[in-house]
A = this chain, B = another copy of it.
């Protein structure tokens, strides 16, 4: 069944995801701050729309995936999605954003009789391209069931984690695990080099056992080769960890690992390395910036 879907945010992730919805035969309207980035989708049949409010007024389902919580605010509130949506519209924010903002969107959506879900993803541009994302969802079970066919076009690990905000909280769990993990794999390689070992050979000894992790096997070979091209950018990691930290503070949680990591990544960003991949932490250590 073809559904009228509005898609806001056609960056690297969004463009790939919107493409899967097009391929499945849905009628797609798109909006993006930079129109050029929607050109590929428009060529493939998507319809350009002049703004978030307009797109929401014309769509049964609205999906947004933008950059920062401030972008989510701009797209959803004031003259945005929530002003255009009506009774029964299914509203899905897939940006990694704050749990509190997801709950605010949910409250506004209820007021107008729409269904809202927060559904951040992990898996990166490759997961978006290959439709193998993990999708972490917060909201009502009925809304989740409505959204499920769309999620299944985008990911392979799709789970409802709880009420509004639970998707964002789960994404924070993901980022917190990655954060201190990056510290571990980076310090391990820094030690290897300082001790005069061949770090690639060390990797072969340790990645098969209890030290094994996605970051160790996927990011450290790149970092050791001096390849700091972004899979995931430092500036976005700093954003996510900032949300996690704020959220942890609201819950009175002490997370010293997270504190230590965010301090280092902020230093990396302040040094002008925000556009590099998160594996650039190795460079910060190696230039004595720690």
Segment at the B interface, from A9-17, A75-83, A141-149, A253-261 = A253-261
The answer to whether B251 touches A162, judged by C-beta atoms less than 8 angstroms apart, is: no
The answer to whether A192 touches B173, judged by C-beta atoms less than 8 angstroms apart, is: yes
Cβ-closest chain B residue relative to A220:
B177
Distance of A139 from chain B, by nearest CB (Å): 14
Which of A99, A188, A247, A285 is packed against the most chain B CB atoms within 10 Å?
A188
Q: Which listed residue, B172, B208, B211, touches A191 by the CB 8 Å rule?
A: B172
Copies held by the complex: 2
Which of A169, A232, A244, A255 is packed against the most chain B CB atoms within 10 Å?
A255
Which of A212, A244, A264, A285 is packed against the most chain B CB atoms within 10 Å?
A212
The answer to whether B257 touches A202, judged by C-beta atoms less than 8 angstroms apart, is: no
The residues of B that contact A232 with a CB separation of less than 8 Å are: 210
The answer to whether A178 touches B174, judged by C-beta atoms less than 8 angstroms apart, is: no
What bracket does the count of chain A residues touching chain B fall in?
Answer: 35 or more
Q: Which of A151-174 contact B (CB under 8 A)?
A: 157, 159, 161-162, 166, 169-170, 172-174
Measured in the bound complex, the distance between the Cα atoms of B248 and A178 in whole Å is 23
Segment at the B interface, from A40-48, A66-74, A193-201 = A193-201
Measured in the bound complex, the distance between the Cα atoms of B205 and A175 in whole Å is 12
User: Contacts A180-B183, A209-B134, A209-B174 given: A190-B253 contact, CB under 8 Å?
Assistant: yes
Q: Which listed residue, B161, B179, B202, touches A170 by the CB 8 Å rule?
A: B202
The answer to whether A178 touches B260, judged by C-beta atoms less than 8 angstroms apart, is: no
Q: Tell me, yes or no, whether A290 is within 8 Å of chain B by CB.
A: yes
Measured in the bound complex, the distance between the Cα atoms of B163 and A225 in whole Å is 24
The residues of B that contact A264 with a CB separation of less than 8 Å are: 256
The answer to whether B174 touches A197, judged by C-beta atoms less than 8 angstroms apart, is: no
Q: Which of A236-268 contact B (CB under 8 A)?
A: 244, 247-248, 251, 253-258, 260-261, 264
The answer to whether A161 touches B197, judged by C-beta atoms less than 8 angstroms apart, is: yes
Distance of A132 from chain B, by nearest CB (Å): 9
Q: Which listed residue, B181, B186, B189, B208, touches A211 by the CB 8 Å rule?
A: B181
Q: Which listed residue, B175, B206, B208, touches A177 by the CB 8 Å rule?
A: B206
Which of A175, A187, A190, A201 is packed against the most chain B CB atoms within 10 Å?
A187
The answer to whether A212 touches B214, judged by C-beta atoms less than 8 angstroms apart, is: yes
Known: A170-B197, A173-B211, A210-B232. 10 other contacts (CB 8 A): A136-B206, A166-B196, A177-B188, A177-B206, A181-B211, A181-B213, A187-B257, A194-B251, A195-B251, A257-B260
**Interface residues in chain A, defined as those with a beta carbon under 8 Å from any beta carbon in chain B:** 99, 122-124, 127, 134, 136, 157, 159, 161-162, 166, 169-170, 172-181, 183-192, 194-198, 201-202, 204-206, 208-216, 218, 232, 244, 247-248, 251, 253-258, 260-261, 264, 285, 290
